[in-house]
Amino acid sequence: MLEIQNITVKYNNSDKPAVENFSLNIKRGEICCLVGESGSGKTSVIRAVQGNLPGHGTVTQGDILFEGQSLLNYTVNEWRKIRGTEISMIFQDSGAMMNPVRTIGSQFVEYIRAHGTYTKREAWEKGVQMLKCVRLPDGEHIMNSYPFQLSGGMKQRVGIAFAMFFRPKLLLADEPTSALDVTTQAQIVRQMMKLREDYGTGIIMITHNLALAAYMSDRILIMKDGNVTDSGDREHILHNSQVDYTKKLLSAVPSAGGCYYV
């Protein structure tokens, strides 16, 4: 479904690439986690896939193919058709992506109607239903609220509802649960995995939480300084890796009785 072919990402204000020679193939229904410290290039990878690199960032080498077509050659109109429907993204701080002077409902209805043939009433009801799916009680109240009236965790779940609404083929998630409490984290992770099971959605998720990555991933890529330093399935990363950096990350995972929480 998705082929990232040896890409290099650079920003205008830096001579050093943010990402160098990165490759990854994602099949339908596959979950891959990118793990590494801040500044390792994880977010640049998924922003490149979404065609939304900030700060005049560009892919200077390689290609990104989605269902056989190069995303690097997409026009604005072509991006408008697939962004939010076939390829969706959950941001680390979804609240920052919302218009602060408009209600959640007005934004959600506009988003739904921009990509589907729904009346305003139908879009409103669909939005309320989706908010319930991400465990937000009283969806009508949330729809009538402004972003500043919601907690950080509630805004994050609204962002997740937006991203999941059209059952995308590919879901890009930039630390989607970092602003949530442990119980809500578990609920959202289960919801993401259900999306994979029910609709074959492929997921690329960024996380600092190696235990979470091991729990939900088919594959894990360890990144450092813009490069992939290690990759493999859960068994390889947790028990068979010989890479020093991977071992250091594992040593930072909270444990009880010498066992990882995975």
Predicted local distance difference test score (pLDDT) of residue 45: 95
**Average pLDDT in the 214-234 region?**
92
Q: Which helix (H) or strand (E) segment is 26 a member of?
A: strand 19-26
Number of helices (H) and strands (E) in the chain: give both, helices first. Answer: 10, 12
* Of 26-35, 109-118, 252-261, the least confident: 252-261
**Average pLDDT in the 36-59 region?**
90
Residue 215 vs residue 65, higher pLDDT? 65
Helix axes 152-164, 120-133, angle to 10 degrees: 120
Predicted local distance difference test score (pLDDT) of residue 205: 94
The answer on pLDDT for 38 being more than 50 is yes
> For the segment 76-119, what is each residue's pLDDT rounded down to a tens digit?
999 988 998 999 998 888 888 899 999 999 999 999 998 878 99
What gap in Å lies between CA 194 and CA 214, rounded to an integer?
Answer: 17
Report the 10 Å Cβ neighbour count for 151.
Answer: 11
Predicted local distance difference test score (pLDDT) of residue 261: 46
At 146, the amino acid letter reads: Y
Strand 202-207's sheet: what is its strand order?
87-90, 170-174, 202-207, 31-35, 219-224, 227-232
The answer on pLDDT for 68 being more than 80 is yes
137 CB burial (10 A radius; 0-12, 13-18, 19+): exposed
> For the segment 117-161, what is each residue's pLDDT rounded down to a tens digit?
899 999 999 999 999 988 888 899 999 999 999 988 888 889 989
What gap in Å lies between CA 25 and CA 3, rounded to an integer?
Answer: 5
Residue 182 vs residue 202, higher pLDDT? 202
Long-range pairs for 103-108: beta carbons < 8 A, 24 or more residues apart: 103/143, 103/144, 103/145, 103/146, 104/142, 104/143, 104/144, 104/145, 104/146, 104/147, 104/150, 104/158, 105/142, 105/143, 105/144, 108/143, 108/158, 108/161, 108/162
% of the chain exceeding 70 in pLDDT: 96
Predicted local distance difference test score (pLDDT) of residue 195: 80
pTM: 0.87
**Average pLDDT in the 182-194 region?**
81
> Which band of pLDDT confidence, cut at 50, 70 and 90, is reported for residue 199?
confident
**Average pLDDT in the 210-231 region?**
91
What gap in Å lies between CA 85 and CA 91, rounded to an integer?
Answer: 15
What gap in Å lies between CA 107 and CA 149, rounded to an integer?
Answer: 15
Predicted local distance difference test score (pLDDT) of residue 262: 47
Query: For all residues of the chain together, what is the average pLDDT?
Result: 88
Residue 116: which residues within 8 A CB-CB, separation 6 or more?
123, 166
% of the chain exceeding 90 in pLDDT: 53
Predicted local distance difference test score (pLDDT) of residue 184: 76
